[in-house]
């Protein structure tokens, strides 16, 4: 039945497997996703053994417990998961309660949970948790019903020191077995000088018979339902922990991939929005260009007309003015200009000089003339005539 932070499971794992599977299926179906699951096993599902070992740290004690259990259990160490709870520890030795469970049985029991990715974070024993509720009691005998068995648990200051399951669930059968169970607990080293006996509330009809068995020890009814603290022993198999870590890593990778996908989609949408915005801008500019096209054509036509008329409107480009500057630049009366030709974009001067050097000198004079600085002058090397004069041709281009 459900508890505050987990699930209590009752019944034997092997003999009632079919019924428990249905119960676990129902429990697994009601566990919300992401909930912390704690599984509380019945006494009949585990093996408990009280041990006295040399004092050591918990890691060394764990190794010693495994070695001791391998002598008792019909399974190898790899086939079981074990833990222990220290009852008393002194400088040289300590008493502890070792608990072991078969991994195969545990896997079968938890299959409905694990198949739904609701693997228990803790697997403990219900008797351990129940004993912790009575930490003020010096030595407590606890009697309660657990599925098809009646449990006698012995707790000392909130720590379970022994637990026995009686197959009898009726009053007479349990009371007949109670002396044997108390003797077995005493032989295991558990204290039996009880300061209190607690009987589950649902077994109220057994109080008179229990009082007869325990004599002057106070007997009270108690409720075993309600919230329980996590048990001091966790029997989650190591393989489960590894699987859980792998699932956590996979979930983390999935989260990162989802985040990367979201970021990629964001940038993709942003790029698409930017392209659409740019296309709209280009469309708007194209519209403005089309609207301005007639005015641009008019301006271009006017510019072409003015360019055509520029030679006629610029005094420096009048043929007479250019001829005057050409004659002004002649370095000697022996140099003669024979041909002058002008177009809107250039003029050409052709003539004859007594020497090639004078022809070159004339070219330099034209270039140095400030009134002709609008023109770019080009000329090939002077051509030497048969009379040893030099023929030249000079172009002034705009």
pLDDT at res. 374:
85
Q: Are strands 139-146 and 196-200 parallel, antiparallel or unpaired?
A: parallel
Same domain, 180 and 232: yes
47 is a domain residue = yes
pLDDT at res. 219:
93
Using alpha carbons, select from 100, 93, 97, 118 the residue that is nearest to residue 41.
100
Q: Which two tokens stand for residue 380?
A: 């090939």
Asked if the model's pLDDT at residue 321 lies above 60, the reply is yes
Q: Which two tokens stand for residue 104?
A: 């195969």
Q: What is the CATH number of the domain that holds 336?
A: 3.30.1360.100
How far is 87 from 109, CA to CA, in rounded Å? 29
Same domain, 293 and 326: no
Summarize pLDDT for 102-148 with one digit per residue, the tens: 888 888 888 888 888 888 888 999 999 999 988 888 999 999 998 78
pLDDT at res. 393:
94
How far is 335 from 382, CA to CA, in rounded Å? 13
Same domain, 170 and 284: no
pLDDT at res. 22:
54
pLDDT at res. 150:
93
How far is 222 from 214, CA to CA, in rounded Å? 17
Same domain, 211 and 94: yes
Asked if the model's pLDDT at residue 18 lies above 70, the reply is no
Mean pLDDT of 78-98: 88
| Domain boundaries, position 322 | 316-397
- Point out the least confidently predicted range of 10-19, 71-80, 197-206, 207-216: 10-19
Same domain, 79 and 225: yes
Q: Among 277, 305, 333, where does a domain finish?
A: 305
Same domain, 25 and 138: yes
pLDDT at res. 118:
80
pLDDT at res. 147:
76
pLDDT at res. 309:
65
Asked if the model's pLDDT at residue 353 lies above 90, the reply is yes
Q: What is the CATH number of the domain that holds 40?
A: 3.30.420.40
Same domain, 51 and 74: yes
Summarize pLDDT for 222-258 with one digit per residue, the tens: 988 877 888 889 988 888 878 778 877 888 888 899 9
Using alpha carbons, select from 36, 200, 191, 218 the residue that is nearest to residue 130.
200
Asked if the model's pLDDT at residue 352 lies above 70, the reply is yes
Same domain, 42 and 163: yes
Question: pLDDT confidence of 185, banded at 50, 70, 90?
Answer: very high
pLDDT at res. 17:
39
Q: Residue 71 is inside which H or E element, if any? A: helix 58-72
311 is a domain residue = no
pLDDT at res. 264:
92
Asked if the model's pLDDT at residue 16 lies above 50, the reply is no
348 is a domain residue = yes
How many domains would you assign to the chain? 3
pLDDT at res. 14:
36
* Residue in the block written with tokens 């000198």: 361
Same domain, 248 and 353: no
How far is 363 from 372, CA to CA, in rounded Å? 12
pLDDT at res. 217:
93
- Point out the least confidently predicted range of 184-198, 240-254, 343-357, 383-397: 240-254
Same domain, 345 and 272: no
How far is 21 from 378, CA to CA, in rounded Å? 107
149 is a domain residue = yes
pLDDT at res. 368:
92
Mean pLDDT of 328-344: 90
Asked if the model's pLDDT at residue 315 lies above 80, the reply is no
Q: Among 250, 270, 305, where does a domain finish?
A: 305
2 is a domain residue = no
pLDDT at res. 308:
66
Question: pLDDT confidence of 77, banded at 50, 70, 90?
Answer: low
Asked if the model's pLDDT at residue 304 lies above 80, the reply is no
pLDDT at res. 180:
94
Question: pLDDT confidence of 312, banded at 50, 70, 90?
Answer: low
Question: pLDDT confidence of 392, banded at 50, 70, 90?
Answer: very high
153 is a domain residue = yes
pLDDT at res. 166:
92
Q: Among 305, 327, 348, where does a domain finish?
A: 305
365 is a domain residue = yes
| Mean pLDDT score of the chain | 85
CB 28 within 8 A of CB 116: yes
C-alpha to C-alpha distances, 340 to 168, 312, 355, nearest whole angstrom: 139, 18, 20
Mean pLDDT of 303-319: 71
Asked if the model's pLDDT at residue 179 lies above 70, the reply is yes
Q: SS3 string of 186-251? A: HHCCCCCCCCEEEEEHHHHHHHHHHHHHHCCCCEEEECCCCCCCCCCCCCCCHHHHHHHHHHHHHH
Same domain, 298 and 327: no
Quote the percentage of the chain above a pLDDT of 90.
Answer: 40
Same domain, 121 and 174: yes
């Amino acid at each position: 039945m459900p508890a505050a932070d987990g699930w209590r499971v009752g019944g034997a794992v092997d003999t009632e497997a079919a019924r428990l599977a249905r119960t676990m299926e129902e429990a697994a179906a009601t566990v919300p996703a992401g909930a912390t699951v704690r599984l509380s096993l019945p006494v009949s599902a585990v093996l408990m053994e009280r041990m006295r070992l040399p004092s050591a740290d918990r890691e060394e004690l764990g190794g010693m417990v495994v070695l001791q259990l391998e002598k008792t259990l019909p399974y190898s160490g790899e086939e079981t998961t074990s833990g222990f709870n220290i009852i008393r520890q002194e400088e040289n030795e300590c008493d502890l309660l070792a608990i072991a469970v078969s991994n195969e049985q545990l896997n079968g029991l938890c299959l409905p949970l694990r198949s739904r990715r609701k693997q228990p974070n803790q697997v403990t024993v219900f008797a351990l948790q129940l004993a912790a509720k009575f930490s003020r009691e010096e030595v407590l005998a606890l009697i309660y019903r657990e599925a098809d068995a009646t449990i006698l648990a012995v707790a000392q200051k909130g720590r379970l020191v022994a637990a026995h399951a009686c197959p009898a669930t009726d009053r007479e059968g349990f009371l007949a077995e109670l002396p044997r169970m108390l003797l077995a607990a005493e032989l295991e080293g558990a204290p039996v000088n009880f300061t209190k006996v607690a009987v589950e509330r649902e077994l109220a009809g057994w109080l008179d018979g229990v009082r007869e068995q325990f004599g002057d020890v106070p007997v009270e009814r108690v409720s075993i339902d309600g919230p329980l603290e996590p048990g001091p022993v966790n029997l989650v198999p190591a393989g489960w922990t590894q699987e859980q870590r792998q699932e956590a890593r996979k979930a983390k990778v999935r989260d990162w991939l989802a985040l990367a996908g979201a970021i990629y989609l964001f940038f993709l949408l942003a790029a698409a929005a930017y392209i659409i915005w740019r296309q709209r801008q280009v469309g708007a500019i194209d519209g403005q260009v089309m609207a301005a096209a007639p005015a641009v054509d008019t301006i271009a036509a006017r510019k072409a007309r003015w360019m055509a008329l520029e030679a006629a409107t610029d005094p420096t480009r009048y043929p007479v003015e250019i001829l005057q500057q050409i004659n002004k630049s002649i370095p000697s009366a022996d140099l003669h200009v024979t041909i002058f030709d002008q177009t809107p974009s250039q003029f050409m001067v052709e003539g004859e000089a007594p020497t090639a050097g004078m022809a070159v000198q004339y070219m330099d004079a034209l270039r140095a003339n400030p009134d002709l600085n609008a023109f770019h002058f080009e000329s090939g090397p002077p051509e030497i005539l048969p009379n040893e004069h030099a023929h030249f041709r000079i172009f002034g281009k705009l």
